[in-house]
Structures are given as structure tokens and as C-alpha cells.
Chain A
Amino acid sequence: MTATPGTPDASPVLLDVRDLHVEFRTRDGAARAVNGVTYSVAEGETLAVLGESGSGKSVTAQAVMGILDVPPGRITGGEIRFQGRDLLTLKEDERRKVRGREMAMIFQDALSSLNPVLSVGEQLGEMFVVHRGMSRKDARNKAVELMDRVRIPAARERVGQYPHQFSGGMRQRIMIAMALALEPALIIADEPTTALDVTVQAQVMDLLADLRRELAMGLILITHDLGVVADVADKIAVMYAGRIVESAPVHDIYKAPAHPYTKGLLESIPRLDQKGQELYAIKGLPPNLLRIPPGCAFHPRCPLARDVCRTDEPPLYDVPDGRGSACHFWQETLHG
């Protein structure tokens, strides 16, 4: 395992995940959802974790947050260092203090993440009552302040309304406000805009980017959308079958991908500015996690696959400019 891509500036490292392994027990054996993921996020940095369903991108985030369902899930190896401490060795009650206060998460489905019988103000204020011991009245004022901050119009009038009275985009803003409430050092956003319409999606992503800049938080953005990533990320980690197959600063990866999977993904999306002939299609399907192919997990779908790919699992090779690629033939991919 080689080092994660260097951060462009010298900000201190906030989160450092090393060689993380997660398995899920199923009726048919262990599904290896995460197989040695290593990444880091510095203060004020945005890391985008890109992958398809089953790539392990959300499971990794759940492990970091400590909200993995155990069982069937199980962390079988690795460490998660957050501000210098290994979270996996903490006791559950210490771990709970980290959640919410120091790291917070935003989910895809805002409606099911909000309690339908409590007003938005109560839910936002709750955080301050529980964690800061504020009075109800102060907490309510804080809630209004937060709603203002995430640019919900007429916050003071709407603070008493219930989640169903807000539109999808507004609900996602409320989720963001909730995550921001205790000013955590790290926010993990799991497909925060996938359920939203394009025009609303743009508003929410803009807001997230602005807030991250203002508050100098670390942000992990989990998504399957190459477009969203390009708009906000500083660096990207591409996941496939529970591993990071490529990591790089955002500009480099779009200019010249160093892994055939990334390259295939980039070529397979239709473009807005031109009408293509036939789309490039990565052949085959993502692997079944119960039977991950030996060697390089991507080899059955890879146009470059050779014998060595079927037997030897490629490490994350160092690629110039602080990049990494888990492909035996990264040079060929990068320059070819």
C-alpha cells in the first residue's frame, strides 16, 4: 500500500483512513464490501469518493461515522484516525461524542432522515439542548440562525413548520443545517443531491461548497455523478469492488485518468455539448461482492487485461503529481 495522494497545501490532516476492511455476513458467506481502503482528508479540503452501487463508498463512510450495522457488518481490519485518535479503539460512549459534535453526516433522503412529528425548529434546537445544555428559547433562536445560514427564506416564520411542509431542496438544506449545528470539523455527505432536480441540485451543491469554505471544514462527498464531483471536489478517490482504484487531484483525473475504470466511466457518459455517435460502454457488470474476481477485480471488464491482472492484485501504484492508480498498466493508461 503506498501513500495517499499528498494534499496540495500543507493543511493538517483531519481524517486518515488506513487499510480499512469491512465484511458483511450473508446467508451465502462473507461479502467483502471494503477491501483495504486508504484515504485522508485535510482541514478545509473536499474529497470526493466516486463509485457505483456496491463499490463500498457508502460502507466506508458508515464505518468512519460509526453507524455501520453490526451485525451483519463487521470491520475486519485497518484504522480510522480522526484528529490523531484511532476511532476504532474508542469506547462506544466516547465514539458517540465524536459523532455530531466533531463529524456529521448528510444523507440522500432528507425526508426519511427528519422526524415527521417534530417541527424543524425543534429538531434543529435539539442539538443545542442536548449537546450544549441551552434553554429551549435560546435553542430556537439558534435554529433560526442556522436556517438563515443555509439560506432558507423567511426562517423566523418557518421555524415552527414540519418537514413535510418543505420542498425536497429545502429539506436537504435543513439536513445540512443540522449537520452544521455543532460546527463539526468534518462533514460526510452521502449522495446529498441525487434525489433532487437539476436546478435544485445546483443550489444545494453551491451552498455546501460555500459553507465548507466559510467554516474551513473537511468534506467527504460520496457520489456516483462525475459531473457533481468536477464542480466541487479538490481530490477524488474512485472506488471499485471495495477498493480505491484511482486517486488524484480533481483536475488531473479528468484530463488524464490513470486507471482503465475511471477512463471508461469518463468516456461512457454522454456530453451536454456534443452529440456523440455511439457511447463507449464498459462491458459487463460490477462484480458480486461474494465472489470478487481474483487478481485485479476489474480485469473481467478491462480492455487492457493481461495474464498478470488475473493473478496479481495491483497495489495502489504511485503516479507522478501525488496520484495513485491500482492498475499494473497505469503508464499505458495515462499516456495511451
Chain B
Amino acid sequence: MAEPAGRHEAILEVRGLHKHYPLTQGIVLKRQVGAVRAVDGVDLDLAAGETLGIVGESGCGKSTLARLLVHLERPTAGVIRYKGEDITKLSGRALKAVRRNIQMVFQDPYTALNPRMTVGDIIGEPYEIHPEVAPKGDRRQKVQDLLDVVGLNPEYLNRYPHQFSGGQRQRIGIARGLALRPEIIVADEPVSALDVSVQAQVVNLLDRLQDEFALSYVFIAHDLSIVRHISDRVGVMYLGRIVETGKDAEIYDHPTHPYTQALLSAVPVPDPTAREHRERILLTGDVPSPANIPSGCRFRTRCWKARERCAHEVPPLAVPAAFRDDRSPAAHDSACHFAQEKHVVPVEPGPVV
């Protein structure tokens, strides 16, 4: 759990984070019959100025994790430390102060903006909630500056969200997230609802803003290519837990967890020559329900390497013993008893240079 890449101090530390949703039966006398373990023991660190990518398939708990990080949900257990202070128990004024520094960008640009408010009101609302950030007279100018920063015409202040396309709405959402000058932005699938040609524009914008405003990102997505593009470090999530984490090259070029390997090998690569010489790991079966997580290693029901030990013993997220004395990129945290390096991403020259 200690990050080898500890050159910066962690601005956000998450330890043992759990979010369980109780399953109840009965209408009047509710009794708990189980729990959906959406997030089930997540540890992560985010250093100042870095981008941590979280990838996983639907239902792996990555969106719940995002909502926990921005305090839209309270965790069942675990701590989230922002600059050393546990923020999970905060409320009232102290919580409001922390919220200023951790903001979120949402997935769906069509529901993330209030249709009854103008763009000026939407981006200006953070200042109404936190009046100490900007005096009243300055706000209009600040909002226009923000529109300019995200690449929209500052004169669009009085327009309504429905007058914009998806990509432009996402820019408005980003401007709102920036208004309070946060240090951390949690982006939950920020480009997956956008057209291919517009995705690149928004990814570039996020990249540029990171430098300009010294932001740290937690970037959550299911698209592995985009995560690699934007992230310094990557965590792979499966059924509520991070199963492998490391620097982007460690994860993509030297994966040691079988799930990561399967995930990477399944990504369609825009290169028809790759289909002949590519090895594909096709997983069998479906992701188990988070209400019924397998014992031991949670991936064992779909894993081709699973043995007796995997059913009894939960593999810790740590550098596997096989690589412990190794200085190779394969020596990164991987929660597998039988971790083994495997190259699955075909490396070819780009199509057009």
C-alpha cells in the first residue's frame, strides 16, 4: 500500500473504504437480509498534481467510489483523508470548506446541468454558495473568465443548457467544477457520453486545465485507452476492490493480475493487422453480483488460474512475492496469489505518423 511513487505527498489518502447498501425484506418491519457491497475495501493515494485513473467494468463500484470521494455518499467504513484530515465524519461548515477543494465532473452532460438555469447562473452558483470566494461585483467577470478558460464564448452567459451540444455542456460542467479553484477533481466517465471526435477535445481540455490550475485528478472510466492517455497511475477495479495498481506503463505493458490481462486483451484495437497475431483472453461467465461476492479471491470464479488456495485466502494488494526483489516494472501492487507478467497489448507503430 505504500506507494513507491511517493515523490509527492499524498493529497488524498483512502484506507479501507467500504460502502454497503443493505438489502431489506418486509414492508413494515424491515430486516436486513444481506448487503450490496458496492465498494468493499478500497485503498488509494492521490499525490498533488497527478492523475489517478480508475478502470473497471460496469458494476465494479467505480461510480460509487467517485461519489464517496466527493462526499455525496457516506462510507459504511473506512477513512478518506484530505491533507491528513479524515473528512468522512465532517458535517456543516467544516464539510462545506472541504467541498471547495474536491469537485466532481459528471458523466452525462444532459442531466448534469439544471435545464431551468442559464449558463451564467450555473457556473456562478458556486460563488453564491461560497460567497467568500468572490465578491458579488466580480462574479460576472469570473464566470466569463471560466467560460473562456474552457473554450466557450464568454458571451454565452444568458443561454440555457439545451442550446449547447454534449461536448459544450461537458465544458460548462467542467467550468462549474473549476469555479471554486479546487485542488482535486473527481471525473466520473467524463467523456463516455460524447462523440468520438468530441472526446479528444474534452480530454485535451482536461489535460490543459491540469497544468493551468495545478489540479489533481481521479479519472474514472471504462475506456482503457483514454485512461492510459490521461493517467499517471492506474487502479483496476473488480467487484468493489482495486485488484492491481501501478504506474500506467506498469499496468498496461507489464500487467500481472489475470483480470487486468483479460481486460487489456479484450480492448478492440483500431488496427486490422493486429487481429491475426493477437492473443485474446476470453473470460467465461459473468461478473458475480456484488450482493454475493465469492470467498477468497473475488476474481477466482472467472479466472483460468484459480486453485484451491484462491477460495480460502484473500490475496492482499501488494507487490507479489515473485517480484519483491525485482526492480522490473512488474514489481507493482497486484492482488493475485499467482501473479505472473504477461504482455497482452500489441505494440505496433502508429497508423499515421
**Are any A and B Cβ atoms less than 8 Å apart in their complex?**
yes
Which of B114-122, B198-206, B329-337 forms part of the interface with chain A? B198-206
| Complex interface: chain A residues within 8 A of B273 (CB) | 251, 254
The count of residues in chain B whose C-beta lies closer than 8 Å to any C-beta of chain A is 52
Residue A68 lies at the interface, judged by CB distance under 8 Å to chain B: no
Residue A225 lies at the interface, judged by CB distance under 8 Å to chain B: yes
Residue B207 lies at the interface, judged by CB distance under 8 Å to chain A: yes
Contact B286 A272 (CB under 8 A): no
| A226 and B270 in contact, given A198-B222, A199-B57, A273-B346 (Cβ under 8 angstroms) | yes
Contact B207 A199 (CB under 8 A): no
Contact B282 A203 (CB under 8 A): yes
5 extra interface residue pairs, beta carbon distance < 8 Å, beyond A230-B271, A268-B199, A272-B269: A169-B286, A227-B268, A256-B352, A272-B267, A286-B197
Residue A8 lies at the interface, judged by CB distance under 8 Å to chain B: no
| A198 and B196 in contact, given A231-B268, A263-B352 (Cβ under 8 angstroms) | no
Chain B contacts with A in 182-215, Cβ cutoff 8 A? 195-201, 203-204, 207
Q: Counting chain A CB atoms within 10 Å of each CB, which of B195, B222, B253 scores highest?
A: B195
Q: How far is the CA of A263 from the CA of B350 in the complex (A)?
A: 12
Q: How far is the CA of A230 from the CA of B165 in the complex (A)?
A: 29
Contact B351 A274 (CB under 8 A): no
What's the nearest-Cβ distance from chain A to residue B240, in Å? Answer: 16
Contact B268 A205 (CB under 8 A): yes
Contact B197 A271 (CB under 8 A): no
What's the nearest-Cβ distance from chain A to residue B1, in Å? Answer: 25
Contact B272 A271 (CB under 8 A): no
Contact A254 B280 (CB under 8 A): no
User: Could you give, for residues 266-288 of chain A, a 1 whenever the CB lies within 8 Å of some chain B CB and a 0 otherwise?
Assistant: 11111111111011111101100
| Complex interface: chain B residues within 8 A of A230 (CB) | 268-272, 274-275
Residue A228 lies at the interface, judged by CB distance under 8 Å to chain B: yes
Contact B195 A225 (CB under 8 A): no
| Complex interface: chain B residues within 8 A of A1 (CB) | none
Give B residues with C-beta under 8 Å from A: 57-58, 165, 167-168, 195-201, 203-204, 207, 222, 224-226, 228-230, 248-249, 252-253, 262-275, 280, 282-283, 286-287, 345-348, 350-352
**Closest 9 pairs (CB-CB, A-B):** A227-B268, A270-B229, A268-B200, A202-B266, A197-B57, A281-B200, A226-B270, A279-B200, A52-B195
Contact B224 A198 (CB under 8 A): yes
Name 20 interchain pairs, CB-CB below 8 A, sorted by A.
Answer: A52-B196, A170-B286, A197-B222, A199-B263, A199-B282, A206-B282, A230-B269, A230-B274, A231-B269, A251-B272, A254-B272, A268-B197, A269-B225, A271-B350, A272-B267, A272-B269, A275-B228, A280-B200, A281-B204, A285-B165
What's the nearest-Cβ distance from chain B to residue A263, in Å? Answer: 7
Contact B270 A278 (CB under 8 A): no
Residue A255 lies at the interface, judged by CB distance under 8 Å to chain B: yes
| Complex interface: chain A residues within 8 A of B207 (CB) | 278
What's the nearest-Cβ distance from chain A to residue B276, in Å? Answer: 11
Contact B197 A272 (CB under 8 A): no
| Complex interface: chain B residues within 8 A of A257 (CB) | 352
Contact B352 A275 (CB under 8 A): no
Contact A285 B198 (CB under 8 A): yes
Q: How far is the CA of A228 from the CA of B200 in the complex (A)?
A: 18
| Complex interface: chain A residues within 8 A of B286 (CB) | 167, 169-170, 200
Contact A274 B200 (CB under 8 A): no
Residue A265 lies at the interface, judged by CB distance under 8 Å to chain B: yes
What's the nearest-Cβ distance from chain A to residue B58, in Å? Answer: 6
Contact B267 A265 (CB under 8 A): no
What's the nearest-Cβ distance from chain B to residue A196, in Å? Answer: 9
Chain A residue nearest in CB terms to B285 = A153
| Complex interface: chain A residues within 8 A of B204 (CB) | 278-279, 281
What's the nearest-Cβ distance from chain B to residue A63, in Å? Answer: 22
Chain A residue nearest in CB terms to B226 = A270
Q: How far is the CA of A206 from the CA of B348 in the complex (A)?
A: 23
Q: How far is the CA of A77 from the CA of B264 in the complex (A)?
A: 45
Pick from B57, B168, B195: contact of A286, CB below 8 A.
Answer: B195
User: Could you give, for residues 211-233 of chain A, a 1 whenever the CB lies within 8 Å of some chain B CB and a 0 otherwise?
Assistant: 00000000000001111111111
Residue A201 lies at the interface, judged by CB distance under 8 Å to chain B: yes
Contact B345 A272 (CB under 8 A): yes
Pick from B168, B203, B253, B274: contact of A270, CB below 8 A.
Answer: B203
What's the nearest-Cβ distance from chain A to residue B108, in Å? Answer: 14
| Complex interface: chain A residues within 8 A of B253 (CB) | 273
